[in-house]
Amino acid sequence: MKMMKRLFTVRLHLVRHGETYANREGIVLGQRESELTEQGMAQALALGETWTKKQRNRTLPNFWRVYSSDYARTQQTAALILRGGATYDEESNFRSAFTATIVPDNRLIERAKGVKEGRPKSLPYDDALQLHYQEHGKQTTTLPLLETELDVWTRTQNWINEVMLEAYHIHTGTSSYAIHNRRDLDDVYDILAVSHSATIRTIVNRLVGDQLPTTIVRGSGGKEGSETGMLKVPNTSMTIIDIAVGEHLNLNDDDDDNNNKSIQQIDAELIELTNTDHLLKHE
């Protein structure tokens, strides 16, 4: 007999990095680097400050884990979010949640955009390809990596599954470490993940695409990386997705230990989509 038992929720808070100089200049970045502008730094600090105010007023939970892609712009954004939210009020004994260690993970990097990287966003892919051949010779057999949405989803799904598994071990563990780590979680494991626009768009499309407004076009934009009506992911916008995690039990009459257990995603719910309320005072 098979049975699915709902255990806990992994709540993903997906944040795009702050504005970079390439963003400001309309240049395709992909898997290239670009520093945050002063505006980008202010955006990240504002998100941390706003979250802490909401946490104070509405008793929002602490982040269980904080991840970022391993690029400088995302790690700096994550650090600034933590700094912006790092407050302590002795009178009310309120301490913000922004004290976690940032874990860089290359599965959260931006989608590789091939020959368009380093070019103006307005330049079509085929024109960028011709420029590449002019600069490197048509005899070149190696082109810059161009990822599909499936490529991005494969690596990000692997990351999500790993997060779910770690949460499962904490949720069901009997060690003092596991018990200590889950005591304030209330069956919800809040994850802050600072990533990139196309990567976040892919996660949203794959997990909760059917919950998006009908005006939004689902898709990756193909080799161009963009398409009219696609989901826009502004700098430091936050998207929240709840993933319900269950334990799949294979119960046999002669199996008292229930050794055959596995976890899986039961469903996913879109809670918030590309929220930028924290930017209002900086516009």
Point out the annotated binding site for substrate: 16-23, 73
Distance of alpha carbon 116 from the chain centroid: 23
Of the candidates 95, 35, 21, 71, the residue with the CA atom closest to the CA atom of residue 196: 71
Pairing of strands 261-275, 88-89: unpaired
Return d(Cα 281, Cα 185) in angstroms, integer. Answer: 32
CA nearest neighbour of 43 among 255, 254, 207, 194: 194
The rounded distance, in Å, linking the Cα atoms of 12 and 197 is 15
The residues, ordered by sequence, that sit 6+ positions from 273 with a Cβ below 8 Å of its Cβ are 204, 212, 231, 239
Which residues carry a binding-site annotation?
Answer: 16-23, 73
What is 38-107 written as a DSSP string?
Answer: HHHHHHHHHHHHHHHHHHHHH-PPPPSEEEE-SSHHHHHHHHHHHHHH--EETTTTEE-STTPPEEE-GG
Which tokens belong to 195? 């990533």
Token pair in block for residue 281? 């005072």
What are 137's two structure tokens? 């010779």
Closest Cα partner for 223 from 15, 26, 30, 11?
Answer: 30
Alpha helices in 111-148 (DSSP H): 125-136
